[in-house]
């Protein structure tokens, strides 16, 4: 049986929600920075990453739209790298690490990443959607289709294939 091993790690600094030094830092930026740092530290090429799993207790607003895949793209992984955002509330990050290990052991992935991300300053806790920092500026320039709605996608597919 294959084994999964941890070859690198990275984390961002911690700050106070809503008033700390990272209060306006997008979740994609934070997670992408950690992923890039872990890959650089281990000397692993971003193109070898098959899958990225990130746990997120509040996957909405700045940590919505599959923050795991978007952080992988931000970190320089190719568009062929899969990503899944895991929500298991307080144990989301731990579940993401378990999913990454499963992917290496049982699916044969050469490299998988597991971790967690949260940006409490940029999610709504009032019952109203917080659109502040809804998109991440640098990723929006490179990959604007990430924030495309499903109805927009359906219209493009219909036009392309004459449906």
Within a domain: residue 12?
A: no
DSSP structure class, residue 113: E
Q: Are 17 and 120 contacting, i.e. CB atoms less than 8 angstroms apart?
A: yes
Within a domain: residue 14?
A: no
Q: How many domains does the chain have?
A: 1
Within a domain: residue 7?
A: no
> Which residue has better confidence, 84 or 26?
84
Average of per-residue pLDDT across 43-59: 97
Average of per-residue pLDDT across 36-45: 98
Within a domain: residue 17?
A: no
The whole domain housing 138 covers 27-161
Within a domain: residue 69?
A: yes
Within a domain: residue 11?
A: no
| Average per-residue pLDDT for the chain | 91
C-alpha span between 11 and 33 (Å, rounded) = 8
Within a domain: residue 19?
A: no
First to last CA, the chain: 46
Mind listing the pLDDT tens digit for each residue in 66-95?
A: 999 999 999 999 999 999 999 999 899 999
Read off the pLDDT band of 127 (50, 70, 90): low
C-alpha span between 98 and 40 (Å, rounded) = 22
**CB under 8 Å to 14, separation ≥6 — which residues?**
20, 22
DSSP structure class, residue 112: E
Q: What are the tokens at 58?
A: 């509040």
pLDDT in the model for residue 5: 97
């Amino acid at each position: 049986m294959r084994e999964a091993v941890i070859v690198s790690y990275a984390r961002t600094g911690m700050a106070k929600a809503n008033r700390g030094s990272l209060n306006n830092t997008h979740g994609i930026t934070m997670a992408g920075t950690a992923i890039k740092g872990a890959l650089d530290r281990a000397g692993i090429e971003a193109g070898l990453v098959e899958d990225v799993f990130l746990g997120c207790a509040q996957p909405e607003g700045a940590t919505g739209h599959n923050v795991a895949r978007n952080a992988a793209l931000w970190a320089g992984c190719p568009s062929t790298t899969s990503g899944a955002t895991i929500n298991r509330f307080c144990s989301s990050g731990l579940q993401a690490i378990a999913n990454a290990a499963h992917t290496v052991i049982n699916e044969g992935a050469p490299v998988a990443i597991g971790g967690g991300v949260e940006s409490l300053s940029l999610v709504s806790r009032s019952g109203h959607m917080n659109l502040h920092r809804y998109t991440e500026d640098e990723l929006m320039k490179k990959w604007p289709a990430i924030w495309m709605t499903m109805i927009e996608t359906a219209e493009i597919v219909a036009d392309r294939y004459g449906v």
